[in-house]
Amino acid sequence: MTNTAETQYPILDVLASRRSPRAYDGDATLTMDDLGPAFEAARWAPSANNLQPWSFIVGYRGDDVHAKISETLSGFNADWAPAAGALVVGITNTLTASGRQNAYARYDLGQAVAHFSVQAQANGLSVHQMGGFDIDALTVALGVNEPQEVVVVFSVGKAGDVAALPEPLKEREEAPRERKPLTEVVR
């Protein structure tokens, strides 16, 4: 499905065409070779003091990690996300090497996920970031311990047939893309 953003100023095609889809090809498989370029882009994202406080746990559809992540998804996410070729958990280290609180850790993880998303889009993969999951259950299921912290889950895969989605999700998927006007975002 193409639904290129209507922008006030020209932006890169890869950004204008980026979406957060809910329809994935449940038959398409992914490997680290498929995701490697996107993780490489994430690795080179900027971070405060070059601390690079992020890490990722990847579950490929059909493996135990994917199942553990899927079991913690909530709401609509539980209906569509398990069809994705991979589910990825974004984790941040909340402390610096000297033991101080890293106030920018979540922001830096966000930068890494954004870089991942753009590279994945450029490589023909779709990414959908989610907040709808049981963070406590996922933290336990994956054995994440302080000072590491689970922040986000995102699905990655090949685009699927929107018509196969349940009606409420299909409607959301086919709706026009909207954003606040630039005058509300930049003051």
Tens of pLDDT along 43-85? Answer: 999 999 999 999 999 999 999 999 999 999 999 999 999 999 9
**CATH annotation of 25-181:** 3.40.109.10
How many whole angstroms separate alpha carbon 96 and alpha carbon 162?
43
Residue 82 three-state SS: helix
Tens place of pLDDT per residue across the chain (187 aa): 557 888 889 988 899 888 888 989 999 999 999 999 999 999 999 999 999 999 999 999 999 999 999 999 999 999 999 999 999 999 999 999 899 999 999 999 999 999 999 999 999 999 999 999 999 999 999 999 999 999 999 999 999 999 888 888 888 888 888 889 999 999 9
Bridging pattern class, strands 126-130 and 148-157:
antiparallel
Domain residue limits, the chain: 25-181
- Say what the pTM is: 0.93
How many whole angstroms separate alpha carbon 91 and alpha carbon 86?
16
- Sort residue 3 into left (φ over 0), alpha (ψ -120 to 50) or beta: beta
Q: Is the peptide bond before 147 cis (omega within 30 degrees of 0)?
A: yes
Residue 11 three-state SS: coil
Residue 156 three-state SS: strand
Q: Which two tokens stand for residue 101?
A: 């609180």
C-beta separation of 147 from 105 below 8 A: no
